[in-house]
Amino acid sequence: MHAALRRGAGRLAGRMLAAAVGTALSLAAVLPAQAQETIKVGILHSLSGTMAISETTLKDVMLMLIEEQNKKGGLLGKKLEAVVVDPASNWPLFAEKARELITKDKVSVVFGCWTSVSRKSVLPVFKELNSILFYPVQYEGEESERNVFYTGAAPNQQAIPAVDYLMKEEKVQRWVLEGTDYVYPRTTNKILEAYLVSKGVKPEDISINYTPFGHSDWQTRVAEIKRFGSAGKKTAVVSTINGDANVPFYKELGNQGVKATDIPVVAFSVGEEELAGVDTKPLLGHLAAWNYFQSIDTPDNKAFIEKWKAFTKNPKRVSNDPMEAHVVGFAMWVKAVEKAGTTDPDKVIDALPGTTAPNLTGGTSEMLPNHHITKPVFIGEIKGDGQFDVVWKTEGLVPGEAWSKYLDGSKDLVADWVKLKCGNYNSKTQKCGG
């Protein structure tokens, strides 16, 4: 390159940088000058990238709920305003967008995240800036933070009842714990393994296996499951396979003729949305454990599904468990804000425990001092039309446990944000850790 040219490039670059800095600074100057006439609600769900498949729906639900609340006259005499951002399935971007929502947009609350890693990524931000996050997805537990409210299921609200059901109803003696290799399946399987052993299952009757995200070639695994199931004892598969890998897994199960009457599969991450991509006729009778099913016949649920279909202008849209979690979480937040008379985070955080809201399946969920909620647990069997037929449910509601009693590290920990003001109080050492 010519020297002149190179010099020119350098100088020019200098000027451009100056210009860029100038814009950035002026941008910074404009930001705080916005008046707050509405109550802003942040929506932090990926609209592009790999997680868009699950999260886009939750954004739509939130928009619907906010619209509905505004029709009812808003909150504290103000209108609610949704602020939608796209963290693009990129975990550092989740943290950046959370910061932007709280600092720049001054939202009062954020509803968002799906994967555990996205929640872990935004946690420090919510703690630092003292805001509120409602997290709607079933997760591995082992967490209770002052600024986060967990409206999805903890392992004791999904995994353990499901295993109980299989032991009792289907007399299962041999278990395959099949999961995607990330923290939710790892923790859930650890808990289940400890639980099964405590119920007298022999270690050689438990097979645990992990596959990578988006695993699409299930031939070997399904054959292995068939082989494991041929030891003469009733065998079941407990699947914590993550969303995307489920469709090829079920297609392979169906084609290799693994019928629910021989080896039932109970899944914790397969709901109506996931089944929308599969022909479910060969899967008749395989199970899922959730706290909500679209097929549950209650007036609230019927009304909700009708509204949802009208809102999305799509008569085929399905509803699922995390959507219900947002419905319950949003109702609780609205109540807590009304009770506190302000959207000030500290006051709302204090007002939330004890708040109740009707869930769509006919019960009333309550926010507990450990920031988890009470939920009913349902076991559903897959029907030919992609919906679930509820075959079992808990008597009453199950309170969510932040810390599992089946894990060595966490059995002594207690979360209580009302009395103890602590998310990980160690009942042995009588100290609040961390």
Partner 1 sequence: MLFVGVSAARADAFDDTLQKFLTDSYTDTEAGVTALGAGGDVRAFAVVKALQDGRLLADPAARRVLIDDGGALKDAATGAVVSPAPPPADLKRVRLNNRLRRAVEAALGALTLRAPDPARRLDAAQAVFKSRDAGALPAVEAALSQETDTRVKSALAMARAAILITSPDAPEAARIEAVGMLRERGDQSALALLSALPPGTPATVQGAADSAAAAIRNRLQIWETAQNAWYGVSLGSVLLLAAIGLAITFGVMGVINMAHGEMVMLGAYTTFVVQEAIRQKAFTFAIPGTGIGFSLPLPAALTLDWSLPIAVPLAFVVTGMVGILIEKSVIRFLYGRPLETLLATWGISLILQQAVRTAFGPTNKEVSNPSWMSGAFELGQLSITYNRLWIVCFSLATFAMLLAMLRWTRLGLEMRAVTQNRGMAACVGIRTARIDALTFGLGSGIAGIAGVALSQIDNVSPNLGQSYIIDSFMVVVFGGVGNLWGTLVGAFTLGIANKFLEPFAGAVLGKIAILVLIILFIQRRPRGLFALKGRAVEA
Partner 2 sequence: MIPRALDRGTIVFLALLGAVAIAVPLLNLALPDSSPLHVPTYLVSLFGKYVCFALLALSIDLIWGYCGILSLGHGAFFALGGYAMGMYLMRQIGGRGVYGNPLLPDFMVFLNWKELPLAWWGFSSFPYAMLMVLAVPGLLALVFGWFAFRSRVTGVYFSIITQAMTFALLLAFFRNDFGFGGNNGLTDFKDILGFNVQADGTRAALFATSCLALMLGYVVCRILVASKFGMVLIAIRDAEARARFLGYRVESYKLAVFTISACMAGVAGALYVPQVGIINPGEFSPANSIEAVIWVAVGGRGTLAGAVIGAVLVNYAKTTFTSGALAPYWLFLLGGLFVGVTLWLPRGIVGTIAHWRAGRRITATEDAPDPSGAAVATKPQAAE
Rounded (10°) angle between helices 219-228 and 243-255: 60
Partners of 265 in the β-ladder: 237
219 binds, among partner 2, partner 1, none (CB under 5 to 8 A by kind): partner 1
Per partner kind, with CB cut-offs from 5 to 8 A, the member of partner 2, partner 1, none near residue 84 is partner 2
Taking the complex as a whole, the smallest distance from the CB of residue 116 to partner 1 amounts, in Å, to 18
Smallest distance from partner 2 to CB 424, Å? 5
Binding of partner 2 by 407 (CB under 8 A): yes
Indicate whether 2 belongs to the interface with partner 2 (CB under 8 A): yes
∠ at Cα 423 (418, 424), nearest 5°? 130
For partner 2, the closer of residues 17 and 303 by Cβ is 17
Q: Which stretch binds partner 2 (CB under 8 A): 93-101, 221-229, 342-350, 387-395?
A: 93-101
Q: Over 282-332, what HEC string results?
A: HHCCCEEEECCCCCCCCHHHHHHHHHHHHHHCCCCCCCCHHHHHHHHHHHH
d(CA 420, CA 432): 8
200 is a site residue for partner 2 (CB under 8 A): no
Task: State the Cα–Cα distance between residues 418 and 406, nearest whole angstrom.
Answer: 25
List of residues 6+ apart from 52 with CB closer than 8 A: 46, 89
Nearer to partner 1, 285 or 354 (CB): 285
- Which residues, 6 or more positions from 63, have their beta carbon under 8 angstroms from its beta carbon? 43, 82, 84, 311
The verdict on 203 binding partner 2 (CB under 8 A) reads no
CA angle 278, 281, 284 (to 5 degrees): 105
- Partner interacting with residue 335 (select from partner 2, partner 1, none; CB below 5-8 Å by kind): none
Q: How many other C-beta atoms lie within 10 A of the C-beta of residue 124?
A: 13
On whether the CB atoms of residues 267 and 246 are closer than 8 A, the answer is yes
Nearer to partner 1, 105 or 262 (CB): 262
Rounded to whole angstroms, the Cα distance separating 64 from 78 reads 17
| C-alpha count within 13 angstroms, C-beta hemisphere, residue 314 | 7
Among 8, 73, 341, 362, binds partner 2 (CB under 8 A): 8
Among 58, 80, 85, 225, binds partner 2 (CB under 8 A): 85
The listed partner (partner 1, partner 2, none) that binds 86, CB under 5 to 8 Å by sort, is partner 2
Cβ pair 108, 117 in contact under 8 A:
no
Q: If binding is defined by CB under 8 A, does position 90 make contact with partner 2? A: yes
| Candidate residues 209, 342, 387, 426; the one interacting with partner 2 per rule CB under 8 A | 426
- Does the footprint of partner 2 cover residue 213 (CB under 8 A)? yes
What CA–CA distances, in Å, run from 344 to 129, 146, 341, 347?
12, 14, 9, 6
CB 84 within 8 A of CB 25: no
Q: Find, among 45, 134, 123, the residue nearest to 372 by Cα.
A: 134
- The minimum distance between CB 254 and partner 1, in angstroms, equals 7
Number of residues that bind partner 2 (CB under 8 A): 77
Cα angle: 428, vertex 429, 434; to 5 degrees = 115
- Residue among 57, 337, 288, 283 at smallest CA distance from 161: 288
Question: What track of x and - describes contact with partner 2 for positions 138 through 167 (by CB under 8 A)?
Answer: ----xx------------------------
CB of 40 to partner 2, least distance (A): 13
10 or 77: CB nearest partner 2: 10
Is residue 182 near partner 2 by the rule CB under 8 A?
yes
- Partner from partner 2, partner 1, none contacting 360, C-beta within 5 to 8 A by type: none
Which residues here bind partner 1, judged by CB under 8 A?
Answer: 47-48, 50, 52-53, 56-57, 169-170, 181, 209-212, 214-217, 219-221, 223-224, 226-227, 229-233, 244, 247-248, 251-252, 254-257, 260-262, 264, 273-274, 276-279, 282, 285, 287, 381, 386, 389, 391
Q: What are phi and psi of 310, to 5 degrees?
A: -70, -40
Q: Please list every residue from 103 through 132 that binds partner 2, using CB under 8 A.
A: 103-104, 115-117, 120-121, 123-125, 128
Tokens of 370: 């450990």
7 lines the binding site for partner 2 (CB under 8 A): yes
Stretch that binds partner 2, among 17-25, 233-241, 308-316, 380-388 (CB under 8 A): 17-25
Nearer Cβ to partner 2 (206/360): 206
Q: Indicate whether 55 belongs to the interface with partner 2 (CB under 8 A).
A: no
Say how far residue 376 (Cα) sits from the centre of its chain: 16
* Contact code string over 356-375 relative to partner 2, x by CB under 8 A: --------------------
